[in-house]
Amino acid sequence: MQIYIDGNFYPKEEAKVSVFDHGFLYGDGVFEGIRGYSGRIFRLGEHLDRLYDSAKTIDLKIPITKEEMTAAIIETCKRNNLKDAYIRPIVSRGVGDLGLDPRKCSKACVVIMAVEWGAMYGDLYEKGLKAITVSVRRNPAEALPPNVKSLNYLNNILAKIEANCKGGDEAIFFDTNGYVSEGSGDNIFVVKNGVIITPPTLNNLRGITRMVAIEIANSLGFSVVERNMGYYDLYCADEVFVTGTAAEVAPITWIDGRDIGTGKPGPVTRQCMEQFKNVVQKEGTQ
Ligand code: PLP
């Protein structure tokens, strides 16, 4: 495995960053999760736009241009001979002292890792995932905005721990106003009476797969509404599904002990899952 660090490639065993990097010390940095399908990178431009926007929000200057980042990502996939890949670019604040001050970090550090990757949830795409609504809240937009994909995922990890403890495959976050936000690593959709509903993106990550799912749903003739929802909307949904780069489109068939709809992946979810497979095979940067 070859890993890109600041312009050079290193074998896995030699790929190292400093313990003084503020990404390690404070989670000070940003990242992306990107997929490759059949040797093509899916929605690379959108992922890089989000990476650079996340960096801008935390005032982190990425030392290479988007074009250079694109070339580095393609080269990383080539060197690792990847067809179906999960690609992880990371930009950390870089080496500083033990204080918080980012001005002491002279240069951001860029790392790109890429591994072969299959279906994250295995047979759960057929059975459906169990989800738990968790007590930990998604960080509000007036704190670190949820649209920043930062290196600090502790909130999401706490959510996952809570879901795991209660027998769930995935966590569902609410925001501090009590509205449904998203999963620990994916966006959420509800289907009710043939209409697809998803929360607006102020209280969750503006998912790229979310956008793809909306495009797919529209192309299948469904209307998609963005509105706030409470737990009533989840429990009484006909269908619930989540979307994410890693999760793709995955059905949720059980929430907090309640079957959702029939307790099996529903027809709208199935159509979106099927069409998603077609879309990812058709598009992509070579
Ligand atoms: N929400 C969170 C918290 C995530 O970490 C992710 C994964 O990136 C998503 C949603 C889904 O976003 P995307 O579809 O861009 O991968």
pLDDT, position 141: 85
pLDDT digits (tens, 9 = 90+) for 130-147: 999 999 999 988 899 999
Q: How many CB atoms lie within 10 A of CB 78?
A: 12
Q: How many percent of the chain have pLDDT more than 90?
A: 95
pLDDT digits (tens, 9 = 90+) for 245-269: 999 999 999 999 999 999 999 999 9
pLDDT, position 14: 98
The answer to pTM > 0.90 is yes
Calpha distance 144→205 (Å, rounded):
11
pLDDT at 285 over 80: no
Ligand 1 centre distance from Cα of residue 66 (Å): 20
Pocket of ligand 1 (CB under 6 A): 33, 156, 182, 185-187, 204-205, 207-210, 243-245
Residues 6+ apart with CB under 8 A from 110: 4, 5, 6, 7, 62, 63, 64, 69, 72, 89, 90, 91
Calpha distance 202→10 (Å, rounded):
39
Q: What is the number of the ligand 1 atom nearest to the C-alpha of 32?
A: 8
Q: Over range 187-202, report the average pLDDT.
A: 97
Alpha carbon nearest to ligand 1 atom 7, residue: 185
Q: Over range 173-186, report the average pLDDT.
A: 97
The b/e string for 135-164 (b: 16+ C-beta within 10 A; e otherwise) is ebbbbeeeeebbbbbbbbeebbebbbebbe
Calpha distance 162→122 (Å, rounded):
22
Q: 28, 102 in Cβ contact below 8 A? A: yes
What is the total residue count of the chain?
A: 286
Q: Over range 81-96, report the average pLDDT.
A: 96
Ligand 1 centre distance from Cα of residue 206 (Å): 7
pLDDT at 284 over 90: no
Ligand 1 centre distance from Cα of residue 245 (Å): 6
Residues 6+ apart with CB under 8 A from 101: none
Residues 6+ apart with CB under 8 A from 71: none
Q: Which residues pair with 35 in a beta bridge?
A: 86
β-strand pairing of 239-244 with 224-226? unpaired
Calpha distance 216→29 (Å, rounded):
32
Is 149 assigned a catalytic role?
yes
